[in-house]
Amino acid sequence: MPGKLDDLKTLQKNLARQIKLAPLSHLPRLIGGADVSYIEPGYAIGAVVVYDLEKGKVIEETYAVEKVTFPYIPGFLSFREVPVLKKAFAKLKIKPEVLLVDGQGILHPRGLGLASHLGLELNIPTIGVAKKPLIGEFELPEDKPGAFCPIFINGQVKGVVLRTRKGVKPVFVSPGHLIDLESALKVVKASLSGYRIPEPLRKAHLLTQRLRGECRNNSGWGDRQ
């Protein structure tokens, strides 16, 4: 595995050079959320929802189930989760304008977190919204919704620590692909609904949890592709 990880590090660095960060022309209306949950023995459930900001509701949801072949290794999550999320995304009839991903964007040791890698694969603007930092120097923002502080890597701002709800831990936001930090922050803030996690991402997580419960009660769930 060490030799293989060296090859994957090189691949990540090469892919990171393809990442493009640019401002969005407008605040998108259709925001996607992508999340993955796991069930023994080694299956992943990838869910993608499309949330309409104007209507305040999910207008489409899809999922895929896939055998997990890559182990959990910090910094290499995309090789474990991109395949099942790509399969779920392909089932959408309505494509989101931006996709929120439960993971890192460019806030990554080699600049290619899950959101960045998935954005490259799908050729869609993506935003990483993580619950924990993987890298970077920062201070915690004040305890009020909307407050944020920059996250620095080698002296450059690569993301923000965002307080989404008073009295709860912040989230770590970074652009993934085809979007810049300022636009990413605007999209995440517009997607908040009183919870710690932006609503499209929260809905995707709830979907994976529901599916996981259903799968545990269905011996044939591994075939639900």
Asked whether residue 8 is assigned to any structural domain, the reply reads: no
Asked whether residue 40 is assigned to any structural domain, the reply reads: yes
Report residue 131's pLDDT band, with 50, 70 and 90 as the boundaries: very high
Asked whether residue 17 is assigned to any structural domain, the reply reads: no
Report residue 215's pLDDT band, with 50, 70 and 90 as the boundaries: confident
Number of H helices, E strands in the chain: 5, 8
Domain that residue 165 falls in: 30-133+141-216
6 known member of a binding site: no
> CA dist 23 to 20, 45, 54, 58, Å?
10, 32, 21, 25
Asked whether residue 16 is assigned to any structural domain, the reply reads: no
Asked whether residue 10 is assigned to any structural domain, the reply reads: no
Strands (E), the chain: 30-39, 43-52, 57-67, 98-101, 126-130, 148-153, 156-162, 171-177
d(CA 184, CA 175): 6
Residue carrying the six token digits 């869609």:
124
The CATH code of the domain that includes 190 is 3.30.2170.10
For the chain, how many structural domains are there in total?
A: 1
The amino acid that residue 79 corresponds to is F
Q: What percent of the chain has pLDDT over 90?
A: 89
What is the pLDDT, as a whole number, of residue 218? Answer: 65
**Which residue(s) pair with 127 in the sheet?**
100, 175
Asked whether residue 161 is assigned to any structural domain, the reply reads: yes
pLDDT digits (tens, 9 = 90+) for 81-118: 999 999 999 999 999 999 999 999 999 999 999 999 99
pLDDT digits (tens, 9 = 90+) for 144-194: 999 999 999 999 999 999 999 999 999 999 999 999 999 999 999 999 999
**What pTM does this model have?**
0.95
What is the pLDDT, as a whole number, of residue 213? Answer: 85
Asked whether residue 93 is assigned to any structural domain, the reply reads: yes
7 known member of a binding site: no
Asked whether residue 171 is assigned to any structural domain, the reply reads: yes
